[in-house]
Chain A
């Protein structure tokens, strides 16, 4: 087909191609602020030109291509996962930190300090009713503080259980959306930018909640695996996960709080696969931080260890002594021994104790028992220590750890918020331009970042040197 008709056909093809490109362009403009939308490009392909063979040249459009760049999309999703984790940990830990006020003004440390001070005052005037009564008042306050801390930890556990359950529900709900989007993509005869945008927006929402790996089939549908192993969505099929708060194999501690578990669609425990996203953050606090304080089936928890040790040592010293009138000493504290994880929650003043039953006298000196109690917090005698630390060292370490964990989570949240903004900015820069332009742009960026890295390294060294110089 040569001559005039050939030339006309060639022009017609070119016009059709340009019309398609214009439609795509309008689509790009219209969807500029749609979440998950990436610009589309229309490849213009040169037609073969051979007039003798009837090939008239010109251009035609190739298949529509999305500029979704999975590499940068994955970078954004990774930051969303880490930010979700840090944010969840930060909010959960902020409820625990006040229980262990490192300043010693309130919380368990404050109450413990007050009791030791009352012992100290009593040791100097063991016979006065005021100092005896002060010991009882401070002991009562300490018991209540332990009970209150245990109740707060239980309440935090319940709140986290609810958050874990609702996060699992959200994950299942988003997985349902992804399954529907996959079905729509499979049924669509041509690439649909709107569907593509919806799918990517759903994947970003999911990444905030858990660490998922995403791969795309040749038909454009997404396969989503929780922790890289447990299927959530495979093409047109969804697999539900669920939260469980029952330990499959209970530990030796009776009536202890169970850990939280995530089960896959066949009931297998996949908790260890959930490491990031808000679900990962909640699970870390629920299954690691809280048990270290309140205990679980396997461990007693630092709060119970501390409560039991203080109560036992105070009682041992008092019951070994005698009152100024020569009567045998009485125990100051009582607690339920039914479970090692219930000590703090049940710690109370012994109902049989009274001010005149406090026993400051021991066998060696006049008020040796009261003196021993006054020095108990800092005593390095092995019998007074907890895991090689004095009672005050142990308590202080507990508070420092709680404060450090909360502080680290807050810092991580701030950092990942910034890194997420940066990944999104890079996503905007890299997605949506042609490959050659992208390559030049990204190479320039890479060089600039390298220069920035060198300068920051110099500043870091300079600040360190200056800080080391200043005493």
Chain B
């Protein structure tokens, strides 16, 4: 059974994971780092799933509110990055749109540039 102290500690750990994801996504945009953030965020989701209203005291609730605010900002951050990548893909590789409105990408071409 979870004590309120355990819950507060877990929430603090979850808050730290969310905060770390924010920082990582801001500073290191690579598929592997984003995937690592997803794994950590999945752990946060698992933790929150295990909580009930009886678990919370005022401290834990305040941390939960902090997590909620951070997650909303993280959501904007991810949306921004995702939109940027999607826009780049469509702009650089798009040849048109399907009847359903999905972008059609050009087939990959053979390497023609010599990397200096």
Contact = CB atoms under 8 A, between A and B. Distances in A.
Contacts of A236: none
A72 interface: yes
B20 interface: no
B19 to A, nearest CB: 11
A449 B81 contact: yes
Interface in B20-44: 21-22, 25-31, 34-35, 37-38, 41-42, 44
A441 interface: yes
B13 interface: no
Interface string B91-112: 1110000000000000011011
Contacts of A430: 88
Contact of B48 (A24, A435, A463): A463
A422 interface: yes
A456 B78 contact: yes
Interface of A (DSSP majority class): helix
B115 A41 contact: yes
A425 B28 contact: yes
B77 A455 contact: no
Contact of A457 (B75, B91, B109): B75
Given A72-B84, A456-B41, A466-B53, A442 B116 contact: no
Max chain B Cβ within 10 angstroms of own Cβ: one of A422, A428, A458, A466: A466
Contacts of B21: 452
B89 interface: yes
A459 B48 contact: yes
B72 to A, nearest CB: 7
Contact of A455 (B45, B68, B76): B45
Contacts of B113: 41, 43-44, 65, 434-435
Contacts of A356: none
B59 interface: no
Interface in B35-87: 35, 37-38, 41-42, 44-45, 48-49, 51-53, 56, 61, 64-65, 67-68, 71-82, 84-87
B45 A43 contact: no
Nearest to B60: A470
Instruction: Give the interface SS of chain B, mostly helix, strand, loop or mixed.
Output: helix
B31 A445 contact: yes
A426 B29 contact: yes
A433 B30 CA distance: 14
Contacts of B89: 439, 442-443, 446
Contacts of A450: 82
A271 interface: no
Contacts, number: 165
A447 B38 CA distance: 11
Contacts of B72: 460
Contacts of A464: 68
Given A422-B81, A436-B111, A40 B88 contact: no
A434 B115 contact: yes
A75 B84 contact: yes
A446 B82 contact: yes
Contacts of B114: 21, 41-44
Contact of B78 (A25, A441, A449, A458): A449
A467 B66 CA distance: 11
A425 B27 contact: yes
Given A445-B85, A449-B78, A458 B29 contact: no
Interface string A332-368: 0000000000000000000000000000000000000
Interface of A: 21-22, 24-25, 28, 40-44, 65, 69, 71-72, 75, 414-415, 418-419, 421-423, 425-426, 428-430, 433-436, 438-439, 441-453, 455-460, 462-464, 466-467, 469-470
5 contacts: A41-B115, A418-B73, A445-B85, A449-B78, A469-B52
* Closest 5 A/B residue pairs (Cβ): A448-B34, A44-B114, A469-B53, A449-B82, A444-B31
